């Protein structure tokens, strides 16, 4: 069997009750009830958000979306994180306050009986209500936004989503260590593929075995995406012609899937010799994502496939060399497209025309589609 691609890598962590950095680096599973982001990490993130609030002339922000809640409060319990432009943040928790207090490093964790009581709870704690309130308007449902309009009738709503996403794009050493821990899960899963891949095995059968291995290694089994209706299982395992089937996700690799209800991913087709077997895998550790794609084959691939792979490696190296602070993502995409066109493969770059994805990469972190 031939395996193509080179494994990458890239983990660590905090306070009382939390596993050691060595345990995280080893990928050891740990109890969710004892996990907590370090207080100094959360303090740094909140201070940066408060800088953005002050720059935008906002009195406070209200964080609701789970990935942002975890980033700023260390928990995804059903909560509203109130962050004033200056002063201490408060996590108002509807469900489950005991878990929120165990998981969050924030000292201000307050039980909230109902959403209707949020304004009174804020007034009681801060003495006033905000006149200019920042919200995550890129993900907040309109019905919930209308509810906040009725709860805070005197407040003007501003969008903080771009500021939040730009801050989250820059990873701290702590976050990089967690991404590395996630990456090691994928390295171990990929190392098992040569023993499991054989002629005639069905895509869904092999995918299930690999998913079980990942879970045993501590994969959390859940990935987040911010884009509306952009959803994906954590492992895309496609082979031969199924690897060329386009679908709705903003990705060059989709697959037919097992039904139209999913519209992507594995099928029941049997894997044959001499065809590319593509493993696009997202591993997650303590909420942080690492994303890999590897190509395997039973025996040599056809010449056309090997040439296309060589061109892809050349494009990857050229983009990596050009990616520097100040260079726009558009410039990198256009460089890649130029290289593909020069090799006569523009119509097959990032998918098949006319359904190609128009990017050369994406950010990772707590979500699969983070900036840049």
DSSP string, 191-211: HHHHHH--TT-BHHHHHHHHH
Nearest to residue 25, comparing CAs of 169, 168, 187, 167? 187
- Please, what is the angle between helix 329-342 and helix 303-322, to 10°? 150
Q: What residue ranges of the chain are covered by domains with CATH 3.40.350.10?
A: 39-169
Residue 323, CA distances (Å) to 251, 311, 332, 337, 368 in order: 21, 18, 7, 15, 20
Phi, psi for 296 (deg, rounded to 5)? -125, 165
Are 165 and 371 in contact, with CB atoms under 8 Å apart? yes
Radius of gyration over every alpha carbon of the chain, rounded to an integer in angstroms: 23
Are 36 and 17 in contact, with CB atoms under 8 Å apart? yes
Q: What residue ranges of the chain are covered by domains with CATH 3.90.230.10?
A: 2-9+173-348
Q: What is the mean pLDDT, run by run of 10 residues, along the chain of 372 residues?
A: 35 34 42 72 98 98 98 97 98 97 96 97 98 98 97 97 97 97 96 96 95 95 92 87 88 90 93 95 95 94 95 96 94 96 93 88 94 90
> What is the per-residue pLDDT for 35?
60
CATH number of 2-9+173-348: 3.90.230.10
Q: CA 120, 123, 124, 126 torsion: positive or negative?
A: positive
User: Please, which residues bridge with residue 280 across strands?
Assistant: 236, 293
> What is the per-residue pLDDT for 279?
93
User: Please, which residues bridge with residue 358 across strands?
Assistant: none
Helices (H), the chain: 21-25, 39-55, 66-73, 97-103, 118-126, 142-151, 161-169, 173-196, 203-216, 303-322, 329-342
74/60 Cα distance (integer angstroms)? 19
> What is the per-residue pLDDT for 34?
54
Q: How many residues does the chain have?
A: 372
CATH number of 39-169: 3.40.350.10
> What is the per-residue pLDDT for 152?
97
Q: Is 216 helix (H, G, I), strand (E, B) or coil?
A: helix
Q: Is 269 helix (H, G, I), strand (E, B) or coil?
A: coil
In terms of pTM, does the model score above 0.75?
yes
Are 197 and 271 in contact, with CB atoms under 8 Å apart? yes
Are 182 and 290 in contact, with CB atoms under 8 Å apart? yes
52/47 Cα distance (integer angstroms)? 9
């Amino acid at each position: 069997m031939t395996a193509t691609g080179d494994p990458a890598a890239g983990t660590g962590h905090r306070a009382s009750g939390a596993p050691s950095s060595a345990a995280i680096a080893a990928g050891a599973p740990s109890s969710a009830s004892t996990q907590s982001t370090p207080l100094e990490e959360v303090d740094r993130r909140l201070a940066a958000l408060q800088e953005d609030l002050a720059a935008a002339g906002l009195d406070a922000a209200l964080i609701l979306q789970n990935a942002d809640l975890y980033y700023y409060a260390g928990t995804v319990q059903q909560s509203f994180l109130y962050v004033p432009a200056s002063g201490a943040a408060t996590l108002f928790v509807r469900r489950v306050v005991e878990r929120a207090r165990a998981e969050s490093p924030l000292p201000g964790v307050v039980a909230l009986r109902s959403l209707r009581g949020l304004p009174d709870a804020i007034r009681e704690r801060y003495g006033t209500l905000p006149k200019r309130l920042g919200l995550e308007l890129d993900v907040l449902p309109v019905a919930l936004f209308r509810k906040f309009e009725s709860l805070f009738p005197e407040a003007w709503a501003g969008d903080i989503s771009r500021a939040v996403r730009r801050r989250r794009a820059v990873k701290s050493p702590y976050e990089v260590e967690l991404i590395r821990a996630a990456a090691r899960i994928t390295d171990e899963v990929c190392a098992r593929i040569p023993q499991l891949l054989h002629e005639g095995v069905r895509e869904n059968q092999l995918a299930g075995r690999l998913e079980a291995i990942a879970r045993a290694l501590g994969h959390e089994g859940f990935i987040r995406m911010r884009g509306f209706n952009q959803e994906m299982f954590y492992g895309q395992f496609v082979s031969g012609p199924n690897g060329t089937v386009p679908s709705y996700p903003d990705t060059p690799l989709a697959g037919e899937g097992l039904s139209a209800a999913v519209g992507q991913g594995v099928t029941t087709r049997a894997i044959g010799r001499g065809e590319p077997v593509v493993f696009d895998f997202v591993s997650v550790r303590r909420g942080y994502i690492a994303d890999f794609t590897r190509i395997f084959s039973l025996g040599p691939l056809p010449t056309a496939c090997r040439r296309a792979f060589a061109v892809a490696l050349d494009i990857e190296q050229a983009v990596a060399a050009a990616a520097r602070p100040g260079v726009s993502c558009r410039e990198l995409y256009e460089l890649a497209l130029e290289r593909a066109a020069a090799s006569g493969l523009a119509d097959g770059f990032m998918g098949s025309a006319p359904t190609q994805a128009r990017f050369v990469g994406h950010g990772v972190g707590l979500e699969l589609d983070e900036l840049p």
